Copies of this chain bind each other. A is one copy, B any other.
Amino acid sequence: MAMAKAGARSARTTGGARDRSAATRAALVQAAIETLREAGFAGCSAREVAQRAGCNQALVFYHFGSVSGLLLAALDDVSERRMAAYRPLIEGHGASLPGLAAAAREIFAEDLAAGHVKVLVELIAGAPSVPGMGEQVAERLAPWRELAEAAVRGAVGQSPLATLAPVKEIAHGLVAGFLGLEMLAELDGSPAAALALFDRFAALAALVDQAGLLGQQGLMVLLARALTSREGEGRR
């Protein structure tokens, strides 16, 4: 998928030329991420990005066809690298809710610092100005949503919590939360509030995990009782 544009390169280039080409592409992609982060989608002109990459503006069009092509390649790059980093994290600790919370916190702190979620946010927000881009961005977001779903399923799939809401819904909320927290962190100029919320989530997860001792015999029964008994509802 990241190689979708590789055809732009001749199949017979020499090794050195290929290296240089790859280096240029990589530099442009990195510069695009940086520009998206610092100047937003609206600040991402071919000239601006090329300048940061230390190369010529025309190379954006040679390698990626258009500015939006470059931005999508940047999203691919971030996605691929981050996905590779997160999957083991989630598959490792993800069997428990506290593990998921801790993993999510680490991931998010790292991504806030590196601006990875910002790339996504900017592309989602900027997409409507480029015909057809919304679908392209949605395609690239899909694996993330699946990863979130898998993480939630692994963490609460067989616990009583799963009966409170479908895994898909919880995952949707999680992804939305990531995006929203990123925007607020950007606006506030600080990720503190977002990280505090994650810490709180981790603490609550630990609490629920211990309450999980109650399991079907405890927590669930309690909730079920609350759901069914409607007689004493005079609470003001």
Contact = CB atoms under 8 A, between A and B. Distances in A.
B164 A204 contact: yes
B197 A124 contact: no
Contact of A196 (B128, B169, B212): B169
Interface in A168-211: 169, 172-173, 175-181, 183-184, 186-189, 193-194, 196-197, 200, 204, 207, 209-211
A180 to B, nearest CB: 3
Contacts of A214: 222, 226
Chain A interface size range: 35 or more
Given A137-B187, A184-B172, A187-B134, A129 B43 contact: yes
Interface string A210-236: 111110001100110011011011010
Nearest to A130: B42
B173 A179 contact: no
B40 A125 contact: yes
A28 interface: no
Summarize A's interface: helix, strand, loop or mixed: helix
Contacts of A181: 173, 176, 180
9 contacts: A38-B128, A121-B183, A124-B187, A138-B187, A176-B183, A176-B184, A207-B223, A207-B227, A212-B235
**9 nearest A-B pairs in the assembled complex, by CB-CB distance:** A176-B180, A125-B125, A180-B180, A43-B129, A179-B180, A42-B129, A211-B226, A40-B128, A210-B226
Given A40-B125, A41-B41, A173-B181, 7 more contacts: A41-B42, A43-B128, A121-B183, A165-B204, A207-B223, A211-B223, A213-B229
